[in-house]
Structure 1
Amino acid sequence: MSGIPASEGGKPEAELSLSGLQLVLEHVFIPLLEEGSGSDHAKATRHDTSHTTTLLRSLQKFTSIVRHAGEQFSGDTRLTIPELPSESVNILVANEQLISRLEVCMSEWASVMQSLLQQEAHRQILGKGPLAEMDFWQARHEVLGGLYEPLDMPQARSIVLLLKNQSTDKNLLAFFHTQYSELVQMTEEAHDNYKFLRTVERHFRTIATGAIHEIAGVLIPMFNALRLVWAISTYYSDDTRMGLLLQRIAHDIADRAETSINMQGLFRMPHDKAVTQLSTAKRMLERWFTAYMETREKIETSGRESRWEFSKTALFEHTSHMAQMCSSLLSMLDTIYTLNEFLGPQLEAVTGNSHGIKQLRAGVESMIRLVEAAGSNIFHKANSERWEDVCAEFNATNAAIVAATGDLIDVNFSKLRSAEAALDFMARLKQLGSGGALHQKVLSKSTDILLQAGKEIDGIAEIFRENQAFPLLAWNEPPVAGSIRWSRSLFARCKRTWTRLKLQEPEALLGPAGLEVEGKYLALAREMMAFERQASQKWLDTANEAAKEYMKMPVLIEDVSQNKIVVNFSYELTLLMREAKALDRLGFAIPESALHAVLDEQTQIERALLTSHLEVLHKTLEPGLSVLNWHSLTMQDFVGSVRKALAAFKATWSIVRKNGMSLEKVLANIAHAAVFVDPGQGTSEDTMDLNDFVDCMEAHCNEVMLRLSYPDVVMEPSSADIKKALARLASCIVEGTKSFVRWMDGTCLEAQPIPGVGEDEEPFVHSFYIDICQNPELRKSLTGLTQAAQTVLVALHQYCESWKRHQSLWKSDKTAALDKFQAKQPPCEVWEQRMAHYADVAEELGMLQRNVEIGFVSVSVSTLASAIREEALAWLRALWQCMRATDKAGLEGMLSTIRPLRAALQTTTDALDIDRAVRSEALASIVSTGMQWDLDCCDIEERFRTRIAFAALLDVSLDDIKSEYMEACSVRALWRSLEADARALRDVKDHEVVESNKANLAALEEHTDGSED
């Protein structure tokens, strides 16, 4: 330590720095973190609280280390161990001066030990948790060990032994041995305590900084470890000391529970998340008590250890109070959630009283603000009266809202807007499964719903009777079929509400109001069916005669004014056909008929090009203009010949039309080509330099288009055409030098052509072509050009082949593949994977760039990508429709299973034995298949949700899909209702069996008593 520089006051600078750091840590940072971790804001942000707690523990441990280091540097903890001379013992004994110096040194040792022991006796534990106590014992062991280790060295022992034998100051020796014995005892005690606490350190750290849901799981292992410490440790076998350690653990558990509950956002977060938060804290607090009692019972049962008789008030009063607070908050959460769900949009849609419901929601919001204003201090026992006031005000507000909501329901359910909306609301309440007063009040409003349903039936009947003479028809809809369709649409509206009533309120339909509504419904149904029969029969009576009359007309007539041959087909016959088709779709029997029409348009240019073909077509049509009518026996042959002639004419016309459209497209592109771009006013800063402009113009790219020509991906123009064009271009470049004629020797005159030898031989012209075509550099360049072109063509071919990775989309048989896939009855996730694959392909192709440059060629892939994307969407659409059909069948199967079970449960108790057996069998089936039905309901709901996720890509109406999804979700409510009825019936049956057995037992006892007499 002699190398440490000293300050002006004589103390080492390191000691002063450590002392200052210790003061800053103990009086600034640690109080700041303790205050921050206990504030409401810190408790509202649970994510940061665990980090704050960890930092506080680490800072407390670091403070202990700093204090220890400062004490090591300070003069109080430094010991001077003098060196003994190397003489023999006899010489040392005779050296009185040496003995005197050693006595002074021993006196200093004793003083240092006394000072340090007094300092350690007054040391306080920093922190309130068990980790702080462990850090305390670690720091004490390190401080005392720094003094004990030098005194335990052989040199120090030799000095003590020498003075013990030769020193005359017995008081000094006694004082030294007293202090040394106390030092050894405290050092060993600190070492043992730290060693024992290290066995449970990981449990302490889990409680202090671990995840809140993990704490309950470590309490039993922690108590087992503490039980071992209780049995082995000398220090912690005392009731007071072990009790204080358990109190520190209880403080940490209560602190973690308090910081884990975000009072400011508890009622704002999702209900499931808030319930999980409170339930986890409550379970941890309750587990703290049960784990302690289980460990205590084990100790008492074993009989080998001392019993745990700690103060339950100190250990569990605060945690038990917090557990009760969590239960109260859970009850409040359920109340708020029930009110919010009840006062949702569905109640507003049913009652139409948006203002009243808005006021009730404001009351619910005031309940939330009331609890939030209480803050986190409500968990302390001292604030119990304040919390009781909050609960009383909360319950009073809840009672007022429930009463006001009940009055609103009484008023508005008597003037419902829609019976179907009210049934939807009741189904939602049954799905929630709450049995509150509001729910029971709504569920008891079946009579009001029946009255509204009767009003709706009366309104529809009035509309039907007022408009049945002139019903409202859709555009281009035939009158008879349209009137029937209009009548059925009105009836479908009544039937939908009636079906919902039969499913949800079968008991209410048995009452007077239900029977009245049923009578109105059946009367309207009979009236509408009579209207349909009358309208259809009236049309059938006239259809045959009209068809015979119109069929006698010639097939074709010639329109002289327009110089056209047209089909002689009257409008009345067309209307007759439309009526027949529409009535056939509605399920009515109609007379058989078959008519066909062909429309065609030609331009003047096409008419001129197809003159000869038109003459052939006119000759084929001639019989229909003169001798044939709609009853002719040769009509079939005539139709066949006309179709054949029309097919031949159409094939020729298609070729002409296709070439004409190509020419028109090219001409349109030429006409709209922007040869020059108007730079606008002024000079743009982005104007290219001349050299850049020339380089850009020289970097020419030819465009190649890829398209899907079933069943291959083709390139236009083809690779062979591109190769020929490039070869022709290279040849033209060289052969262009033939135009440069040489001059005659010594003149500036061009050489004259030399006639050929034969008549057919072309004359020879002296030009530069002969010299240039033999130039090796030119030949090398031409070879390089050919190789470069070939490289690009190979790359083009490879790129074109790469698109064939999607060929399964258009080459596979969609119908067979889907039938095979559906036959495997795959689960929902397999359906989703298949549809997600095609959706990803469609999305990838939709985001693909329009052009891809390969060398000097720009490949246009937009047409090909669009075609393949449509194929992927077609697969997705087919899979979606297939899954929809499967889901509908599964849903119908579930409903068909529920109906007979419901009917069997409704069998009266005085029914025949067969009916009672059926009811017993149904009851057993419901009880045994409850879990499987829950899985089936989850599966059918997930399948409908999966199809909703892909509906946006297919332009499917979300309203229809959501209505189907709501129908699928209603199955769970139906099954829950069926299970509830089954449980009630089983309880009644068990009660009847018990009463019957009691009666039999009484009769048996009476008979036995009579026999004894």
Structure 2
Amino acid sequence: MDAPDPKANKHESQAKYMQAREERKKLLTPSHKYMIDILANGLFLKPTAVEEFILDCSPLDDFDNFFAKGGRKAISFVYQMSEVPGIECGRSYTGTTKKGKILRLFLANLSQTCLTGICCSFTRTRVDIPVNSENIREEIFFSMVDAREGLLKGTRNAFNFLLPALDAGQNWGVLDKSRHGEKIKSNFKYSMKCCLSSLDDIQMSNESIVHLNKVTDIDFSKLVSVEDMKVAAANFDMVHRLEEILMQWYKQIEKVLIETDQLRKGVDSAGPLSELEHWKKMSLRFNSIINHIKGPECKAVMMVLHISHSKTMKMWRELDARITDRVNEAKDNVKYLNTLEKICQPLYNSDPVTMLKSVPNVINAIQMIYNVSLYYNTREKISALFVKVTNQMVTACRSYITDNGKCLIWDQDAEEMVKKMQDCICLFQEYQSCFQKAKKKNMESPGKKPFDVSESQIFCKFEGFCKQLEKITQIITLFKMFEPLGKSNIEGIEILARQFHTVSMNLKRKQYDMLAPRTIEFESDFTKFIAQIGHIENQLRAFMSSCFLNKFSSQQALVLIQRFQRLNIPCLDSEISNLLARILQHYFSEVEFAKKLYEKQRDDPPLARNMPPVAGRIGWVKHLYQKIEEPITYIKNNSDILSSPEGQDVVKMYNQTAAAFLEFESVYHRAWMTEVCKLDYSKLPGYDLIC
């Protein structure tokens, strides 16, 4: 019987697999196509290439499970160097060896895959309904992690968008209406920030480890026993080489110590938790050195050199003592600074109002560290820690004022902005007050060392920031004060309105951050702005005074004064007082003129056309009374000038004149009433009809 032909069997298998591949291709639905297009777009591949990679998978059961009701929550693909698939995929990869690797996309089980390329995942928002071509756009979302430079870095980069997205204005649903919604959102953002920060810490840990030079030219397996070491110690060349190795390590460690001893140039706005991060980093760095020193290679080198009485051992022991001290210091500092992590959380995720109640806890925690720590108990270190607390408070205040950097100062409501700045000033006052209480309590407690810290260094930045806020508040108040200039219709005032608009816009258009502490530019611009406002105020007073140069009646002058008063600009108050004094003099003349006119015309006053004699006379005297009554009523209600000697003369003249007018009106009114009472109504035409 003839043996089966292997080539024929292979061709039959290939044909079968190719047929199966064609069958899989027919099963691709619009939902599959949608996911393929997304993968192609994310990986910068052609959809046809992605489709071919997908068809390599046999069968498509994972897709069916992902689409089904109650199916899997996610499905992941990996694009990286991988083994060439066998003939069972249904196509051949020409130009590749059997165990070779190619860059390809494949469906992956992430728990069993070593990710070195790009991971693409689709995740369902819910599994209680099936996914189909109609709802797939709403039911799944896509994410990528690029691990080509390491999984840790890829994961961190994948979430770079998260914090900006959370800070962006968006609808948080029921949380926006919830009583504690803002606090929940703030805590969530802080948790996410901590999560991302932990990824940075892991990366930092890898970077902090000190890697000392590896020795490749000595076989340390021959330096295990004491006898082996004694033999090596008797070998001059071996000892010389080991001394070179030890000195190389010595120089590397010395360099690390020098870098650590140098003044740390931290970020000016660094908060208290940055101190914890620093000492964690130092602990990792020094522990990695200690681990090397305790390692078998270093121990062997030290033992051989000790036996040979090498002079390098004295230097090494001194260095070893310094490293040990640094390890203990870092360990102790991390231990105590860890207590700040939770206590300082409100400084990072609260606004200045809710932060107030946390200030005493922060101060007490730092005071405890100062009292019990073996290393963190100096004036310089504890002052530096308080400075970082101050930094974080200022950072929180700036974030509070600008709504996490989303709004400029000038874009917000003036009253709300002033309130926010006052909240920040209250936080500073509470910070100072709690600090002084803690310091006093420490002094009164027996057995405790004085709380010796640099208060000027601690509060300098926050105090300067608050002074800056007071100046910004002054600017906002001036903006609000002079705003009516642009709305006033007093003729000629539009020139001053344009001038103020130019001055205010020049300040608003400044490119630097006005909330940044110690801004020299701001101080210069503020001084210039106040000088310009002073100049505008002088011009406004001069303009107001010029408006009264023309001869007006007291009534007209007072109407114009009221228009200026409605501007509600304080600098005009003194000018208004001066003008009222001038108007009072003019008013005295008007009252005197009215009195003379009354005496001249009272027997035969001019009557309005078609007016009856009595009514005409009463109307005439009422008109005279109104001309003198309106000005003095306004002056009485808006000034105390009538209590002056000159004012008393005017009041006396007014009272005499007004009494005469009222007496005239009363006489004619009584006479008219008397005549009316004498009338016989029965003789009036139409009386019968009325009755």
- In the superposition, the TM-score normalised over structure 2's length comes to 0.52
- State which of 192, 205, 209 in structure 1 corresponds to 2:345: 205
Q: Is the 8 A contact 1:65 1:139 kept in 2?
A: no
Alpha-carbon distance change, 219 to 522 in structure 1, aligned in 2, over 3 angstroms: same
Q: Is the 8 A contact 1:239 1:310 kept in 2?
A: yes
1:248 aligns with 2:388: yes
Alpha-carbon distance change, 268 to 179 in structure 1, aligned in 2, over 3 angstroms: closer
Measure, in 1, the Cα distance between the counterparts of 2:637 and 2:390: 55
Q: Which has the larger radius of gyration?
A: 1
Give the partner amino acid of 1:220.
P
- State which of 661, 677, 688 in structure 2 corresponds to 1:540: 677
After superposition, give the CA deviation of every residue in 1:805-835 in whole Å (9 maximum; x if it has no partner). xxxxxxxxxxxxxxxxxxxxxxxxxxxxxxx
Residue 546 of structure 2 aligns with which residue? Answer: 411
Measure, in 1, the Cα distance between the counterparts of 2:608 and 2:506: 60
Residue 469 of structure 2 aligns with which residue? Answer: 326
Measure, in 1, the Cα distance between the counterparts of 2:657 and 2:564: 23
Residue 229 of structure 1 aligns with which residue? Answer: 369
Measure, in 1, the Cα distance between the counterparts of 2:163 and 2:253: 30
Give the partner amino acid of 1:256.
A
1:389 aligns with 2:524: yes
1:131 aligns with 2:276: no
Residue 573 of structure 2 aligns with which residue? Answer: 439
**1:474-493 alignment runs, 5 A limit:** none
After superposition, give the CA deviation of every residue in 1:962-996 in whole Å (9 maximum; x if it has no partner). xxxxxxxxxxxxxxxxxxxxxxxxxxxxxxxxxxx
After superposition, give the CA deviation of every residue in 1:871-917 in whole Å (9 maximum; x if it has no partner). xxxxxxxxxxxxxxxxxxxxxxxxxxxxxxxxxxxxxxxxxxxxxxx
Measure, in 2, the Cα distance between the counterparts of 1:305 and 1:522: 84
Residue 369 of structure 1 aligns with which residue? Answer: 505
Residue 354 of structure 1 aligns with which residue? Answer: 490
Q: Is the 8 A contact 2:468 2:515 kept in 1?
A: yes
Measure, in 2, the Cα distance between the counterparts of 1:67 and 1:267: 40
Measure, in 2, the Cα distance between the counterparts of 1:21 and 1:519: 99
After superposition, give the CA deviation of every residue in 1:849-889 in whole Å (9 maximum; x if it has no partner). xxxxxxxxxxxxxxxxxxxxxxxxxxxxxxxxxxxxxxxxx
Give the partner amino acid of 2:370.
W
Alpha-carbon distance change, 94 to 137 in structure 1, aligned in 2, over 3 angstroms: closer
Q: Is the 8 A contact 1:325 1:379 kept in 2?
A: yes
Alpha-carbon distance change, 222 to 331 in structure 1, aligned in 2, over 3 angstroms: same
Residue aligned with 1:470, SS? coil
Q: Is the 8 A contact 1:200 1:225 kept in 2?
A: yes
Residue 276 of structure 1 aligns with which residue? Answer: 419
Give the partner amino acid of 1:325.
Q
After superposition, give the CA deviation of every residue in 1:478-497 in whole Å (9 maximum; x if it has no partner). x9999989987996797666
Shift of 1:530: 3.7
Give the partner amino acid of 2:200.
T
Measure, in 1, the Cα distance between the counterparts of 2:326 and 2:515: 39
Measure, in 1, the Cα distance between the counterparts of 2:583 and 2:159: 68
Measure, in 1, the Cα distance between the counterparts of 2:610 and 2:432: 80
Alpha-carbon distance change, 280 to 236 in structure 1, aligned in 2, over 3 angstroms: same
Measure, in 1, the Cα distance between the counterparts of 2:564 and 2:642: 14
Shift of 1:390: 1.9
Shift of 1:357: 2.8
Q: Is the 8 A contact 2:370 2:376 kept in 1?
A: yes
Residue aligned with 2:529, SS? helix
Kindly tell me the number of residue pairs found equivalent between the two proteins.
Answer: 482
Shift of 1:278: 2.4
Give the fraction of aligned pairs with identical amino acids, expressed as a percent: 13
Give the partner amino acid of 2:392.
D
1:528 aligns with 2:665: yes
Shift of 1:224: 1.6
| Root mean square deviation of aligned Cα | 6.3
Shift of 1:315: 3.3
Q: Is the 8 A contact 2:363 2:435 kept in 1?
A: yes
Alpha-carbon distance change, 168 to 380 in structure 1, aligned in 2, over 3 angstroms: closer
Shift of 1:304: 3.6
Q: Runs of 5+ in structure 2 lacking a partner?
A: 1-79, 83-100, 102-113, 118-145, 168-182, 213-223, 229-245
Q: Is the 8 A contact 1:447 1:508 kept in 2?
A: no
Shift of 1:359: 2.7
Give the partner amino acid of 2:501.
E
1:62 aligns with 2:230: no
Shift of 1:25: 8.8
Q: Is the 8 A contact 1:212 1:281 kept in 2?
A: yes
After superposition, give the CA deviation of every residue in 1:734-790 in whole Å (9 maximum; x if it has no partner). xxxxxxxxxxxxxxxxxxxxxxxxxxxxxxxxxxxxxxxxxxxxxxxxxxxxxxxxx
Residue 508 of structure 1 aligns with which residue? Answer: 642
Measure, in 1, the Cα distance between the counterparts of 2:307 and 2:378: 35
Measure, in 2, the Cα distance between the counterparts of 1:190 and 1:202: 20
Q: Is the 8 A contact 2:605 2:617 kept in 1?
A: no
Shift of 1:230: 0.7
Give the partner amino acid of 1:548.
S
After superposition, give the CA deviation of every residue in 1:150-203 in whole Å (9 maximum; x if it has no partner). x99xxx9xx99xx99xx999779x999999999987676555433422333344
Residue 127 of structure 2 aligns with which residue? Answer: none
**1:644-793 alignment runs, 5 A limit:** none
**1:512-661 alignment runs, 5 A limit:** 512-542=649-679, 545=680, 547-549=681-683, 570-571=685-686, 595=691
Q: Is the 8 A contact 1:250 1:319 kept in 2?
A: yes
Residue 20 of structure 1 aligns with which residue? Answer: 150
Shift of 1:400: 1.8
Q: Is the 8 A contact 2:594 2:624 kept in 1?
A: no
Measure, in 2, the Cα distance between the counterparts of 1:440 and 1:500: 17
Measure, in 2, the Cα distance between the counterparts of 1:453 and 1:171: 118
After superposition, give the CA deviation of every residue in 1:630-663 in whole Å (9 maximum; x if it has no partner). xxxxxxxxxxxxxxxxxxxxxxxxxxxxxxxxxx
Give the partner amino acid of 1:401.
I
Give the partner amino acid of 1:228.
M
Shift of 1:364: 3.2
Measure, in 1, the Cα distance between the counterparts of 2:381 and 2:160: 25
After superposition, give the CA deviation of every residue in 1:197-246 in whole Å (9 maximum; x if it has no partner). 23333442222331022344433332221111111112311333323322
Alpha-carbon distance change, 529 to 452 in structure 1, aligned in 2, over 3 angstroms: same
**1:121-160 alignment runs, 5 A limit:** 128-138=270-280
Shift of 1:354: 1.6
Q: Is the 8 A contact 1:230 1:242 kept in 2?
A: yes
Alpha-carbon distance change, 214 to 363 in structure 1, aligned in 2, over 3 angstroms: farther
Residue 16 of structure 2 aligns with which residue? Answer: none
Alpha-carbon distance change, 447 to 168 in structure 1, aligned in 2, over 3 angstroms: closer
Q: Runs of 5+ in structure 1 lacking a partner?
A: 38-46, 77-91, 97-109, 473-478, 551-569, 578-594, 596-1013
Alpha-carbon distance change, 387 to 120 in structure 1, aligned in 2, over 3 angstroms: same
Measure, in 1, the Cα distance between the counterparts of 2:188 and 2:544: 50
Measure, in 2, the Cα distance between the counterparts of 1:75 and 1:515: 101
Alpha-carbon distance change, 277 to 300 in structure 1, aligned in 2, over 3 angstroms: same
Alpha-carbon distance change, 141 to 402 in structure 1, aligned in 2, over 3 angstroms: same
Alpha-carbon distance change, 168 to 328 in structure 1, aligned in 2, over 3 angstroms: closer
**1:101-116 alignment runs, 5 A limit:** none
After superposition, give the CA deviation of every residue in 1:408-446 in whole Å (9 maximum; x if it has no partner). 3323356366577578679879xx8x9x54213223433
Q: Is the 8 A contact 2:607 2:620 kept in 1?
A: no
- State which of 312, 319, 333 in structure 2 corresponds to 1:193: 333
Measure, in 1, the Cα distance between the counterparts of 2:410 and 2:577: 28
Structure having the higher helix fraction is 1
Higher relative contact order (CA 8 A, sep 6+): 2
